[in-house]
Amino acid sequence: MSTTDEPTANAESPDEGPAGAPISPDGAKQKKQKKHLPVWQETILLLGIALVLAILIKALFVQAFYIPSESMEPGLVKNDRILVEKPSYWFGGPERGDVVVFKDPGGWLNGEEAAGPTGTVAKALSKVGLYPTGGHLVKRVIGVAGDVIKCCDEQGRLTVNGQPLDEKDYARLGGADCYGPMVNDCSKDWEVGPIPDGQVFVMGDNRNNSADSSFHMCKPTDTDCTKNPYVDVDDVVGKVFVLLWPSDRFKILHRPDTFADVPDAD
């Protein structure tokens, strides 16, 4: 009698299935192969993912806009494409010197500027952040809550809380004559403030051709004036940080150093 164990009748050999049927090599490969979606389904899935990501990016992080007028020359020219980032204002408001994009407070844009993109495709793409959005304004923040702004000192400079701004590196200050939208409302000397909480005072870098906060102030000669020169912080979309197009003028925008010298409001 042998001591070697004999295989039982029910034992499966490596090449047999559960019932003793042989497994072909092709069958084993088929089991290992993963199922793939048809190309058209993969395409739709990828487009859906891209759309969701675009919407999230636009809502939370970065949005494209274009410059609607000449008011930010010389740095930003009409029809330039810019990128606006939003995280900077998640835990705080705009700072002096920031170039910001904001919703029209009401009547600041003319019909052409307020219209935004034309064409079905452009409008659809702008909704999801894949095409520059219109209907907004681009200006530089000059003052924040509590600030007092005066125009101008003996050298023709704006002052914020008594500190003059050196703006020759980024602003087109022009001469004494006004033109563009300022032609009927130019006032050489003015003062505004303290700026209310939750609001900012903005101006275009092209000072004599910008319908900005200084343009929407009540003048001493106005009666029953209801103008509001301020922009609500909640209407600010974000800070401009890149001039994207045209490519030969691509640049990263920075806050001018002159604003670092402005003291906090009393």
Question: pLDDT tens across 158-212, in order?
Answer: 999 999 999 999 998 765 444 444 444 445 688 898 999 999 999 999 988 888 9
- Mean pLDDT value across the chain: 78
Residue 98: domain span: 39-261
Alpha-carbon gap, residue 74 to 205, rounded angstroms: 7
Instruction: Answer whether residue 32 is part of any domain.
Output: no
Instruction: Answer whether residue 4 is part of any domain.
Output: no
Instruction: Answer whether residue 13 is part of any domain.
Output: no
Whether 214 and 193 have beta carbons less than 8 Å apart is answered as no
Which one of 71, 210, 213, 214 is the catalytic residue?
Answer: 71
Instruction: Answer whether residue 229 is part of any domain.
Output: yes
Alpha-carbon gap, residue 5 to 120, rounded angstroms: 81
Beta-bridge partner residues of 16: 22
Alpha-carbon gap, residue 21 to 140, rounded angstroms: 80
Pairing type for strands 236-245 and 163-164 reads unpaired
Instruction: Answer whether residue 47 is part of any domain.
Output: yes
Instruction: Answer whether residue 7 is part of any domain.
Output: no
129 pLDDT more than 60: no
CATH of residue 174: 2.10.109.10
Instruction: Answer whether residue 1 is part of any domain.
Output: no
Does 71 qualify as catalytic in the annotation? yes
Which one of 58, 69, 86, 139 is the catalytic residue?
Answer: 139
Helical spans, DSSP H, in the chain: 25-32, 39-60, 111-115, 120-127
Q: In terms of pLDDT, which residue wins out, 33 or 79?
A: 79
Q: What is the pLDDT of residue 258?
A: 96
Number of independent structural domains in the chain:
1
Instruction: Answer whether residue 17 is part of any domain.
Output: no
At 39-70, the pLDDT tens digits run: 777 777 777 777 666 666 665 678 888 888 89
Does 139 qualify as catalytic in the annotation? yes
Q: Which of 19-28, 60-69, 228-237 has the weakest average pLDDT? A: 19-28
Query: How does DSSP assign 169-238, residue by residue?
Result: TTBB---S---GGGTTT--SSEEE-PPPTTEEEEE-SBGGG--STTTTSPPTT-SS------EEGGGEEE
